[in-house]
Structures are given as structure tokens and as C-alpha cells.
A and B are shown apart, each in its own frame.
Chain A
Amino acid sequence: MRPSITTMLAERTSSVMVQAALVVLVVACSLFGCAWRTATAEHYFGPVLFRVSWLDGAAPTSQVLAIGILAEGGRQWGVSLGVMERIAVSPVYMQGTDIEEPQRRPQWSALGAAVLPAVRHWMFSPVYLRVEEIGTPVLVARRLFGAQIVAGPEARAASLGVVSLAHVDVPDDAFSQIHFDSRAPMATRVRVWRAGPDHELPPVHLFEETMR
């Protein structure tokens, strides 16, 4: 017995709806991400662009760009819609003109990334990215084009539009030299000289370049 035209139409409509639902689901998944931040690492689920840097005496820096909906949890809570960028810079500890100890590089791992990231080069992580921070970041720069509700030590706000936030947590008992340029965030300089009653002060000429 041949199916009636009505049955065939119903089946085709059903099939189209399933396909449309799948497309919507795939698009929704590709636009939805989640960031979870612990004291030592950042975990990103979903598609993000990222790059890291730690060479040439520059401060260990990570930059992550998410497009779509990004939920945040852990140290910082929130939901963002639009384009969200976060740059975190950890300090380089100095002793006089030298680096205090061999510079550690940020550890990262990306699931689903096509190739391993080169320093300062943008990479795409489609599924999962983990960036291990070297100590608490001294400088966190966040930029948003869209809408967001966030709460935490980095920001506490409900915003719609363009938001640019640069937050510096100055270390205690130390000299801190910070130079950040949004055109070249990977070349950010955050240098810290520890100080105490028995510490020798660094030469002042090291800080002359700060305000040039």
C-alpha cells in the first residue's frame, strides 16, 4: 500500500524539522562557551581563540577571545553575550637587572586544536582549553562588545555596550613596573622587585622608562 501524500508530507516536514533542530543545536553549541577559573588554572569549554606568550623577558601572558555566549564560573561568575576578551598577565620577579629565577612558561592544553600553538600566534580551540597560570595575575584586562552580568574580583557589573576594564593588583612590599599596550598585549611588561627591611633596592634607572 502506497503512503498517502499527506503521510509523505508529514514525514518530510518531520525530517526537515529534525535537521533544522540539529543545525540550531550545532550553531548554539558553537556559540556557547563556558569558562571555569580556579586559583591556578583556567578551563574553557567550547570554541575560543587564544594565544600565550612568555618569551624575551615579557611577562607570562594569556589572551582568550570568545564569541557568542560565555558563562563564567569559579573565581569569577557571570554570563556574557557578544565578543569577550580577557588578557591575564603574571609578573616576572626581578633581582636588580636580572630575572630572579628561570622564567616558567604558562602550561596549556587544548583538546581538538588542529596544531600546537606557537608563541604569540592565535589558535582556535573548538572543544576544551586549559591554561595554567603562573601565580595570580597582576594585570587582568577584559573587553566586551555586547552584554554581560559578572560578579567577582575582576569585575562586578551588569553592562550593555562596550566595556573595557584593566585591573592591576599591586603586590605588597615590592616595586612593580607595568607597561601595557592594547596594540601589543603579548609584549606586556609586568616586573616585580621584592622589598623588605633587609632587601637592597634596585637602581632607580630601571624605572626611568616607565613613564617615557
Chain B
Amino acid sequence: MRSLNTLTTIVLGLSVVMLGLAGCVGKTLVFGTATKFGLDASQRADQTVEVTMGYDRYEIASIPAVREDAAKADPETTAGKDTYSVLGIFSVSYGNPFSTEPLVLRQFFATGWAARGAALRPAFQQFFGRKTGEIIKQGDAEIQRERSAGGR
């Protein structure tokens, strides 16, 4: 079991969600992580009630979603509207809540037309490609650290 000190981790997520999410109509995309300490019964959008004993920590990013079915939407009424495209980088760093270890959030999101425009621009493609590589490297390093700590 990981100690509180080793809870200081960086969670990086990169998601590319492009058009065609007709099956997710009316829902909200949520990026988040959670840890708990104490007793907690909570409910978030589109989820059942959960009861937890532990330190409770959430970092959530809700992405807007139009309630219309994208596949059936009238192009004339939805012209200029696009909320299904998302490009995002989500970083959370946290530590022991009883110490001075801070909670640090770094997020970058492009939604709707911004995501569509960014996906077509080589500069943004390189930016997200580079960040994806950094995320994979950081994840590998984190796994290595955990393995070496677990082997002691």
C-alpha cells in the first residue's frame, strides 16, 4: 500500500475526443482523480451515490455537451455550434492534506470550434504530440519509482 508521502504523484491525462460521439448525447465529459480520508457519501453527475471511508479529494473538469443528438442535428440550427470536440491536457499534483504539500492543477482545454481548429493546425498537432510523449515518459518513470520502492 502506498504511503501518504508517495501519494505525491503527477497524474497527466491527454484526451482527444473528436466528432461522432452521438452515443454520449446529453452527457458531460469529466476529467478527474480522487482520494479519500474520512467518511464520504457523494454523487456526481451521471453516477450513482458512493459511500467511502478515506481522505476525499476530487479534481474534476466538466466538458460541456450539447443535448442534441449530433447525428440527427439539423445543420442549419446547429451551424456554428460544436461542443463534442475536445483537446485536453489535465495535470494534478497533490500530497498529504495535513502537511504543506500543495495541490497544483494545470489544465489546458480546447473545446468545440477551438478543438476543431487546433486539430487542423500543425503547431497544435506537434504541441499535443510532444506533450503525449512527455506524459508517457513521466508515467514510465512513476511506475519505475513505485516498483523500486515496492521492492525494498
Contacts and interface: CB of A to CB of B under 8 A. Distances in A.
Contacts of A195: 110, 112-114, 117
Given A156-B43, A162-B56, A211-B131, A183 B102 contact: yes
B117 A170 contact: no
Interface residues of B, number: 53
Contacts, number: 162
Given A161-B38, A164-B103, A201 B111 contact: no
Interface residues of A, number: 43
A101 B134 CA distance: 35
Contacts of A182: 102-104
Given A165-B57, A176-B109, A211-B89, A170 B37 contact: no
B147 interface: no
A162 B109 contact: no
Given A156-B44, A157-B40, 4 more contacts: A162-B55, A165-B57, A173-B113, A182-B104
Interface of B: 12, 36-44, 54-64, 80-83, 88-89, 91, 94, 97-98, 100, 102-114, 117-118, 121, 123-124, 127, 131, 134
6 contacts: A139-B105, A163-B40, A167-B58, A201-B114, A211-B12, A211-B134
